[in-house]
Structures are given as C-alpha cells and as structure tokens.
Amino acid sequence: MIRIKGLTVNYGKNVVLNKLNIEFPLNNIYGIVGLNGSGKTTFFNTISTLLKSTTGEILFNDREIRLEDTGYLETGNFFYSRITGNEYLNIFRQTNENFKLDSLQQFTKLPLDDLIETYSTGMKKKLALLAILKQDKPLYLLDEPFNGIDMETNKIIELIVQALNEKGRTVFISSHILDPLIRICDKIYFLEEGNFTKTYSKDDYHKMEDELFEDLKVKAKSIIADSV
C-alpha cells in the first residue's frame, strides 16, 4: 500500500500540492491527469523522493518511501548526445534478472549502436524506458510517456506497462492523452488545484471526458459558435 498523508509542496508562496491524503493499493495501473501546471510532475517528483515535500509523508508498505523503490521515466530525460544507445544503457546497473536486452531491442526496434543524437523523440522514450526496466523496482512512474510519439511506440509502451503490472508492479502514468490511459489503467485521478478532485474507475470511463470538459463545452457553445 502507498499511503500519502497531508502532503503539501510549495514553491515559494505557490501551493502546488495541498494537503493530499490518499491511499493507492499496490499492483495496479493508475492514471494521473490534469491541466498544465496542476502538479502532476511535482507529484511524481515527490513520490520518487527527488523533491522533498513541504509537509506530510509518503509511506510505502508502512515505511517511508525511498529512492530505490521507484523507477522514474521523466518527461524530459537527459541524454549525452555523443554516445550510443548501448553506451547509455551501460550507465545503469542491472538488478532485474529477467531483463533481456536482445529481445527488448527486437521488440522496440531501437538502433542501439547508433548515436543518441540521431534518435527521434519516440526512440529516446523507448531508450529511457529500457534503462529503468534494467532495474527491478516495485513502483514505476511514467511522466507523459505518450507525448510526441507515433502509434506503434504508443502501443509498445502500453504493452510494457501491462507486462510490468502482470508481474506485480505498480505503475503511475501521467498524460494529457486520455485514450491510452482508458485502455490500460485500473483507475484515473484528476489533479486540480493541488488535490485529486475526481476519481474514475473502469466503469466510469465512458463519462469521464464529458465531466472533465463540461464547462469548456458550455463556453464553446456561447463563444466559439459566434466567433468562427
């Protein structure tokens, strides 16, 4: 169980996460959605322990969460441009006994002998994902993994996430794109003004988009219809 108690994160006077209290049972896939600036990346940075909260705590199996508990795919990973994909992966220590690079390379179609500076956005996403898969973690955080990628890469990421979950891993995914989350998540949470204001289970997914964009649709009828 992941228990979050009274979690607050401030940037100066700006409250990004505001007294979050929530529990996440393990071995599930969770989607985190919200508008730009809603705190999704801050939430992930805090769970990963890269960012210290202002107040509150995050417990993983009744103890304080640690850096080694999480594999984190950040929105923009840093890459040395003048090294190959293989050289990048060699930076990371392998703790996952099941990690088979040859098989995953064939599946992802990554040219690991090529320089990273020749990689597309989608190829870099797959490379960064392989790096965290080398490490056997109970919890994975994927921040906007579907941004700027093609349909095939999208499906590859979905299949990898599902495989992790089948092996008992817990996965959090943030995204502005609802479709892949609807396909693979057990629950989806809407982060707004520093708190989770809406929660959707699979039975509720059909009404999620209408609820999230209800106000926008009302404005569209009164403004856009007379302006275009």
pLDDT at 56: 96
Give tens-digit pLDDT for 185-209: 999 999 998 999 999 999 999 888 8
- For the chain, first and last CA: distance in Å? 50
Q: Give the count of domains, the chain.
A: 1
pLDDT at 227: 66
C-alpha distances (whole Å) from 181 to each of 30, 79, 122, 154 are 8, 27, 18, 11
Is the pLDDT at 78 greater than 90, yes or no? Answer: no
pLDDT at 160: 93
Angle between helix 151-166 and helix 121-133 axes, rounded to 10 deg = 10
Q: Which residue is listed with tokens 């108690």?
A: 5
Give tens-digit pLDDT for 21-68: 999 999 999 999 998 888 999 999 999 999 999 999 999 999 999 999
Mean pLDDT of 133-161: 93
Give the residue numbers spanning the domain of 127. Answer: 2-226
Sign of CA dihedral 109, 112, 117, 123: positive
Task: Count CB-CB contacts under 10 A for residue 201.
Answer: 11
Average of per-residue pLDDT values in the chain? 91
Assign residue 108 the CATH number of its domain: 3.40.50.300
Give tens-digit pLDDT for 80-117: 879 999 999 999 888 888 899 999 999 999 999 999 99
Confidence of residue 219 (pLDDT cuts 50, 70, 90): low
Query: Is the CB of residue 40 less than 8 Å from the CB of residue 191?
Result: yes
State the pTM of this model. 0.90
